[in-house]
Chain A
């Protein structure tokens, strides 16, 4: 085009660096950039008031601030509550549990799920007409122990026909929850009781399998099933809980039993862990086959900060706040990818590495010491985190597709 101008080239390089910084906002660039990432400091600096905007207006960032503006209005779903709510039959969300009882020498955990059409708020002020289990997206998390019978009474109160298809090892085709098997699709006001054996241990997935599949999934008909490993079974068959074919010594078997106890909600060893369910999902609001919102647990930036002055001073929002964790304890994330339209999603922690158990079906990590994992649609896994040697403060985690991060799948742990 024109002669090379080295001054221009240098300016371009610098500008590109700035642009990259702004685009990824916080991949170890600086504390200020990280904390400035989500707030409304930019608008405060421009004299535009936003809800919860910190006063002062001394942010000289000049790059503006990304993040969804405003807070959530709809209080019927709280992603913070969802994180730690497990329906075990004994406790959990009201209305989901019918209870726990013995039948033929086996524990039955009986849940009731109802399909309803509802409207959910996926970004502040942005409503999405969802199809849901029990009026929430993701649906309630079912938590059972390996070997239990999972009995789910499914009532369809939606205008459309639905099913429930479980991602567990299921030997009865009639219980597979597809249009071609068992009761097939359930029309409006029909009901059916599914029964599945809780196997194998791990973090699993349930979703509607009606056609068109893409739409029924994308509209919100999915949820998590956590199958806790049974330490007795581990003791008897330790080989089933390791990958590969290496010999399992008695010491290693004993260690596997201990690990199983930490994963089983009925054992006190489990209390050392702060357990969190994160379902990565996305929403296409304008029907173009691409998502306008990405999130962990439906709401864009729900685990971000409420406001910041861009200089490290931040405040919680009413509905947007980091996930508080105890630095002394350990964290376990049950991670599921329910994102439609994009083949993969990912999970990346800042300043931290973790062990990853693909599908959670083994008691030894499938990936040790990684800070990013990738999941295909419906893939899931267990993430084992320890912030014991970290300073208190905010640590970001997000999808490392920067597009997804900037469209809402961006979060913080606050280590206290």
Chain B
């Protein structure tokens, strides 16, 4: 803190070290350390002689979660499990559709039976499953506890090869990069607009972003359901949303010094949309990883139309000023669109609901901050955020997103 400009938060910059004395004349660092030292002593005392005898009763319940299942071929089922509980658990048997089945439990390449707290493992079951026929798998722990997992309409999960890598890149290109680039081509037209209309465009893009935020937010909470209990999926989403919001805010606030730069806002919008698209790519990649990728041409077209509105959103902030150098457009477009490819790769290679929920949440946080930023921008340019035109334009953004979302969902 000492080096920072303390006036930035509007506080009073007064050094109180001289005026207010530390008790007993201790040096300042000692005063800071005393509570920590005492805490350490209390914790140590508690650990040495736990006074819990009268309080503790019963044992914690075993808590194992199956984060997901992969099906590398039609003769194997692989369950990805995590021991969330505070105690070790032993995987004694495995049931497939209510029949005992052979299996091997491996963690980090080693065959294991007992998982320590927090340890994750793969359970490989040689089972000849039928595509499209639901599988009910259950793990039987040593004490007879069962952990059930349904594999709904199983389909083979393709292994991640250079080929799938390329496919995901192409999908990302069509779903993310091209639509954003196309949308940015509205830039010259937007420059010819009056301020009032430009504000409407900005409000429209805020509507687009807001809708994406809700979309990703619901998705994040849904994915969080399958996050292993110990990671507190719901709270992880909250942390992701607020964290991203505050980080993006602090970054833009720093670059904004001495007045809000339109270009900075454009970059911020690009980051927000980029994070959203990263999550979108993640969804596509994990669909691949889970054998759920049925990306028909229509679906890709749906995504393209859906995402093309992101183009004007990223360039709208700079439409009213002098045209920035072209390299900024390339950079803004790349930041907004390319993360689809990256997300696809991450989702395909390292699918995990925890990562998925967190990325989605980060996207929501970034979007929320950007919407706030756009409102500030309209205000700075002398506009009124709540004017009828802007309100309707915002609503237009929401409606267009809802409508184009149907193209993806149907």
Contact = CB atoms under 8 A, between A and B. Distances in A.
Interface of A: 15-16, 18-19, 22-23, 40, 42-43, 45-46, 48-50, 62-70, 122-128, 283, 285-286, 288, 292, 300-301, 403, 406-408
15 contacts: A18-B128, A22-B128, A48-B124, A63-B128, A64-B101, A64-B102, A66-B102, A68-B93, A124-B93, A125-B92, A286-B145, A292-B95, A292-B140, A301-B100, A407-B100
Given A63-B75, A122-B144, A403-B99, 10 more contacts: A23-B97, A40-B102, A67-B101, A123-B92, A123-B93, A123-B140, A126-B141, A126-B144, A127-B143, A406-B100
B128 A65 contact: no
A403 B98 contact: yes
B320 interface: no
Nearest to A43: B102
Contacts of B126: 42-43, 45-46, 63-65
Nearest to B127: A64
Interface string B245-274: 000000000000000000000000000000
Contact of A69 (B99, B103, B141, B144): B103
A68 B103 contact: no
A125 B92 CA distance: 5
Contacts, number: 109
Interface string B116-133: 000000001111101001
A285 B102 contact: no
A50 B102 contact: yes
- In the A-B complex, list the 5 residue pairs whose CB atoms are closest, starting with the nearest: A285-B144, A125-B92, A406-B99, A64-B126, A48-B104
Interface class of chain A by DSSP: loop
B135 to A, nearest CB: 11
Given A18-B128, A46-B126, A125-B142, A65 B102 contact: yes
B404 interface: no
A288 B124 CA distance: 26
B146 interface: yes
Using C-beta atoms within 8 Å of the partner chain, give the interface range for chain B: 20 to 34
A62 B92 CA distance: 23
A237 to B, nearest CB: 48
A319 B58 CA distance: 33
A8 to B, nearest CB: 11
Given A64-B127, A69-B93, A23 B142 contact: no
B338 interface: no
A42 B94 CA distance: 14
A46 B143 contact: no
A18 B125 CA distance: 17
Nearest to A287: B144
B124 A46 contact: yes
Nearest to A42: B126
A17 to B, nearest CB: 11
Contacts of A300: 100
Given A46-B124, A65-B126, A126-B140, A286 B104 contact: no
Contacts of A292: 95, 140, 144, 146
B221 to A, nearest CB: 28
A308 to B, nearest CB: 11
Nearest to B114: A125
B149 interface: no
B127 to A, nearest CB: 4
A42 B102 contact: yes
